[in-house]
Amino acid sequence: MNNASTLRRYSYADLPSLIALMTGDEKHDLASMSTLDVIWALYDRVLRVSPSTAGSESRDRFYLSKGHGPMAYYAVLAAKGFIMPDDLARYGRFDSLLGQHPDRNLVPGAEISSGSLGHGLPLAVGTALGLRAMGLTSDRVFVLTGDGELDEGSGHEAIAFGGRAGIDSLHCVVVDNSSASLGWPGGIETRFAAEDWSTVRVDGRDHDALEAAFTLPHPGRPHAVIAVINRA
């Protein structure tokens, strides 16, 4: 983590150069990263967590369930001071903190280890229940899944229970880039809505729309944001 003397403020415009530290490609196209805008909007505008509060019992949690392709996540963590740009340059090496799937025991600021699909939302249900049991009722949990990831049955155990239990600290962001090979006829949000989740569909590149969707009130219900990414 940065200390005060090295603290530098990064903006959204700095993300390409941070990502380039991992890819070695100066012209890497941000549009190829379906999760970048969602993760940036969350960390920049919504989540109540910072490097100085990452160890606090009370904080908002972000669970990157779709752990594959984590460069956007790492770039945002670096921009927000959880990890150093130097860490990015060692991406994927034997002694790196940063692998092709994140490990929470290695990456400062990473709340879960992921990679195998279908674990983040069920874990988030448990964390939300745990926070409720500890009386930390203002802390929120945000999970990022993909539309393809929701093929896994484990996610549907979590959707059904989360809705039935009315866990309103639970937020699921589905980055929908139409990657589920059999599709979700009627829209993936109908699976959440049937279990009494609050749902909203937004442009997954529009930061203002994402912020509004993430902060939409949903008393007594969990909330699903379907962030649509149109494939180029």
Partner 1 sequence: MENMRERFARVTTGLLDSDARLAVVLADISADLFDAAKARHPDRVVNLGIREQLLISVAGGMSLAGIRPIAHTFASFLIERPFEQIKLDLNHQAGSAGAILVSSGASFDYSSSGRTHQSPGDVALLGTLPGWTVHIPGHADEAEPLLRAAAAGDGLVYLRLSALANSAPLARRSDGFTVLRRGNQATILAVGPLADAVIAATAGMDVTVLYAPTIRPFDRQTLRATLSAPVVVLAEPYLTGTSVPEVALTLADLPHRVLGLGVGREELRHYGTPEQHQAAHGLDAASLRNQIAGFIGIEDSGRGRVPARSLA
- Our separate counts of H helices and E strands in the chain read 8, 5
Cα gap 227→205, rounded to integer Å: 8
Considering only 15, 42, 125, 210, the residue that binds partner 1 (CB under 8 A) is: 125
Cα gap 47→62, rounded to integer Å: 8
Per CB under 8 A, contacts with partner 1 among 150-189 are 153-154, 157-158, 160-161, 165
Say whether residue 195 binds partner 1 (CB under 8 A). no
Joined together, the tokens standing for residue 177 give 């880039």
User: Could you tell me the smallest distance in angstroms from the CB atom of residue 131 to partner 1?
Assistant: 5
Cα gap 14→49, rounded to integer Å: 20
Say whether residue 133 binds partner 1 (CB under 8 A). yes
C-beta of residue 68 within 8 angstroms of C-beta of residue 82: no
Say whether residue 112 binds partner 1 (CB under 8 A). yes
Considering only 105, 185, 186, 220, the residue that binds partner 1 (CB under 8 A) is: 105
Say whether residue 131 binds partner 1 (CB under 8 A). yes
Say whether residue 149 binds partner 1 (CB under 8 A). no
Nearer to partner 1, 87 or 139 (CB): 139
Q: Is 182 exposed, middle or buried (0-12, 13-18, 19+ CB in 10 A)?
A: exposed
Which residues of this protein are in contact with partner 1, per CB under 8 A?
57, 61, 103-105, 111-113, 116, 119, 122-134, 136, 153-154, 157-158, 160-161, 165
